[in-house]
Amino acid sequence: MTAKEYLNRVRKQNYVVRQAEKELTMVKSDILSLKAASLSEKVSGTKESDLADKYVKLEKYFDKVIAEWDTLIDMRIEAKAMIAMIPDETQQAVLYARYINCTEWEQVAADMHYSWKGIFKLHGRALQSFERVHGSTLAKCV
């Protein structure tokens, strides 16, 4: 596995978490809409049990989001420790901004006062440094 592939796993996990959170919000909104509709109608007890079932399913969505967050946090801790081992602090900063904070390239360049081309050169050097420092670890990753 290359340094870029390894670090992109953290970035991708961040998107997985965001999508799981969006899905949870949508399901929660749908359930609340059902609850509002059921409260406005006078219906037999079966609607309440249906609503209770929906809340149980909502809990499962919530558990999934928590699990994805746990995965992301563990990945970030590991990646941050590995990035911190790179001797050049500027290289650390570009990797941290891009892969830990998931910052877009335009913003990374602006924040670090680099041109578009300059930030990509720095990023390339940072990835090479990461691979030099962690080559044996990356070789074990699948």
Distances (CA, A) of 69 to 12, 20, 103: 12, 9, 18
Residue 35: the pLDDT is 59
pTM of the model: 0.80
pLDDT tens for 12-63 read 999 999 999 998 888 888 777 765 555 555 555 555 566 677 777 788 889 9
What is the per-residue pLDDT for 61? 85
CA distance 53 to 57: 6
Domain of 93: which CATH number? 1.20.1050
Percent of the chain at pLDDT > 90 equals: 66
Q: Which domain holds residue 56?
A: 3-140
Q: How confident is the prediction for the chain on average, in pLDDT?
A: 88
Taking residues 101-111, report their average pLDDT.
Answer: 97
Cβ neighbours of residue 140 under 8 Å, at least 6 residues apart? Answer: none
DSSP one-letter string for 23-42: HHHHHHHHHHHHHHHHHHS-
Question: What's the pLDDT at 68?
Answer: 96
Task: Please tell me the total count of domains within the chain.
Answer: 1
